[in-house]
Structure formats: structure tokens, C-alpha cells
Amino acid sequence: MKILAVGDIVGNSGIVKLKKGLAKLREDEKIDFIIVNGENSSEGMGITSKNFDDIISQNVDVVTMGNHTWGKKEIFSFIDNPKLIRPANYPESVLGKGYGIYKCKNKKIAVINLLGRVGMNILTDNPFIVVENIIKEISSKVDIIIVDFHAEATAEKEAMGYFLDGKVTAIFGTHTHVQTADETILPKGTGYITDIGMTGPKNSVIGMSTEVALKRFITALPERYKIAQGETKLNAVIFEIDDENNKLKSIKRVQK
């Protein structure tokens, strides 16, 4: 089985890139299951019902979120869609769900979404404790567990990788929008990469206009971010899993 995880969709141009490139990627790589991070799909912050529908119309199996989960109020109208999950370490009273269990090729695949705490300035529960409790609850019910850890600090992501090594099939990082070249299979068999990158404007500062970004850094004055224009890219990672024993066989970065 091959599972594709697509890096943060940034704005409408990211959705257009997904529509143009996903079908061929799926066919070329013989992808069975697709995860897409959609928390930046609406103007770089949040997701609308149209964004969500556009993404899942590409035969995407699950859309994960992050720190901009609540960026667009209309998310509350579709937060309970089975194909949408938000970070599991939001307080229990928060609407939506932090993980989902899906069927593919006679396998049960659990996808868990987590939000980091270092440098995020969001009050969330401890992701290490939350994910450990989820795994205890579902590990006997599923064949494969994939984790999207939406976090800022590379140290927190690496720590989570080692914490989950041997407990989940794979963990990939999102949020920083820059694909890292550290894809690996950890000592106990879990696939890991610090960040899978982004899908959206190529010539940009993490998807945003370089002109605006530079002005903010040079002058230290507030300036509203806007999404860059022009050529786009698609960043992702492919996890190949042995159908016989559900163990990870390989992890491969994608840059399109």
C-alpha cells in the first residue's frame, strides 16, 4: 500500500496545483490513500466549504488541519464531515474530531492530527500525552496509524518522532512550509520527516508575497500578508507499507 501526504495547501493557487497534479501523481506512483493538509487553503488562513469540497473532489481521503483551523467561521458547518480532522489536542469540548479511521484495501487506517505547542501561542493540551492515549484506544482496532504533527519547532517534531517510534506507522510534520531532507525510518520502524513542505506559490516566502514579507522584516512594521502569484509547486511524501505485515517499507519525498 502507498499513502500520499500532501503538504499545506496555500490559497486558491495551491488548490489549482493540487487539481492539476494529483491525478497524474496518483497514477504514476500507484497511490492508494491520500492525506492533504488544508488549514491554509483559504487565503492562507483557514478553510471554507468550497475549499474543502474542491480538495476532496480530487479523491482525497482525509483533510488535516492546524493552528488556523478556526480561521474561517464557516468551518463549523462542516467540521463533522468524516473526511475532516482537526488537531486532537484541542480541549475535549471543542467541536470536531482529532482522528479518523478509514478503510482502504481491506486495511483500517487511522489518521491523527496534532498541534505543537512550542512557538505556536495557542493554548492546547500536551500533544504527547493526547496521542499516547489515542494510540492506546485504537491500536488494536487498526492496521496502520499515520500522524500529521502541525508544529513550528523542529526539536518538538523530532522528539515526537522518537516518542512515537514503534507505536505508529509514520509521522510527518506540517506548518513550516519548507520541505526537509531528513526523511528516514526510525530505529523501531516508524517513518519520519520533519516537514513535507507546501503546495502553492513557488517564488514566495512560505507561500506569501516576497515583497510584503521583505517589507515586514526590513522595516519591522505591520503589513498584511498576501499570497504570492505565479508558478506553483506541490510538495508531498509517499509512505510505502508492506501489505503482509503493515510495516513501513520506504518513505519518499515528492517535489512537483
What does the pLDDT look like over 1-21, one tens digit per residue? Answer: 999 999 999 999 999 999 999
Q: Between the CA atoms of 153, 154, 159 and 165, what dihedral angle is there, to the nearest 10 degrees? A: 130
Q: What domains can be seen in the chain, in order of their start residue?
A: 2-201+234-255 (3.60.21.10)
pLDDT for res 225: 81
Query: Which pLDDT score is estimated for 50?
Result: 97
- Separation of CA 143 from chain center: 20
Whether residue 253 is predicted with pLDDT greater than 90 in this model: the reply is yes
> What's the rounded Cα separation, in Å, for the pair 184 and 200?
25
pTM, rounded to two decimals = 0.95
Nearest to 14 by CA among 228, 245, 240, 249: 228
* 224 pLDDT tier (thresholds 50, 70, 90): confident
Report the catalytic residues: 68
1, 33 contact by CB (below 8 A) = yes
